Structure 1
Amino acid sequence: MSARSTRIRALSLYKDLHRLGRDYPDPSYDFHGRMRTLFEKNRNLTDKDEIENALKLGEYIKKETLALYSLRKYRYLKRMYPNSMSDPS
């Protein structure tokens, strides 16, 4: 994989995480600050394996954040319906 395509993947991942961080439920966590720190820490990586591992970690964080948002959405929907609907008696 070329350096250019790796750079494009990294920028795309950064943009996706930045968009996801806008809706992060806990404002005291500082999602954007932590994300930026991680990207800056890995800025000078040169080994292809290390770069690939860092990108995989970023993708994992992205998937976990999306899962967190899905759970939040379904918990909200569950609260909207009364408990008696789940009781078949």
Structure 2
Amino acid sequence: MASKATRLRALALYKELHRLGRDYEPSYDFHGKLRRMFEKNRNLADEGEIEKALKMGEYIRNETLALYSLRKYRHLKRMYPSNSTVDPLTDRWP
């Protein structure tokens, strides 16, 4: 049986992933996949297996955050023109 600290860690991870999934594409079914992943691992008893599953969840969290950062960067890049009228050598307007 998992310790109380491990259980609380898993619940916190689930809540954080659920919040991150709000901004995800609806057609991907992020919340459904998240729930199925946690339900599949519900009956794990070995501490090593539980730790491995939590590490996978943390990896998914980090990758999702990276995708959101990339999306923000791409949006900002589209907002500014790539060929501005600033002279790149002097960094001044002509």
Q: TM-score, normalised by structure 2?
A: 0.87
Match of 1:7 in 2: 7
Greater percentage in helix: 1
Alpha-carbon separation, structure 1, partners of 2:55 and 2:76: 32
Alpha-carbon separation, structure 2, partners of 1:34 and 1:87: 50
Opposite residue 32 of structure 2, the aligned amino acid is G
The Cα of 1:88 is off from its aligned counterpart by 2.8
Q: Which runs of 5+ in 2 are unaligned?
A: 90-94
Opposite residue 88 of structure 1, the aligned amino acid is P
Q: Which runs of 5+ in 1 are unaligned?
A: none
Within the alignment, does 1:18 sit opposite 2:15 as a pair? Answer: no
The Cα of 1:87 is off from its aligned counterpart by 7.7
Q: TM-score, normalised by structure 1?
A: 0.92
How many pairs are equivalent?
A: 87
Opposite residue 37 of structure 1, the aligned amino acid is R
Percent same amino acid among aligned pairs?
Answer: 71
Q: CA RMSD in A?
A: 1.6
Within the alignment, does 1:74 sit opposite 2:73 as a pair? Answer: yes
Opposite residue 46 of structure 1, the aligned amino acid is A
SS of aligned partner of 1:84: coil
Opposite residue 15 of structure 1, the aligned amino acid is K
Moved >3 Å (runs of 4+): none
Looking at CA atoms only, which structure, 1 or 2, has the larger radius of gyration? 2
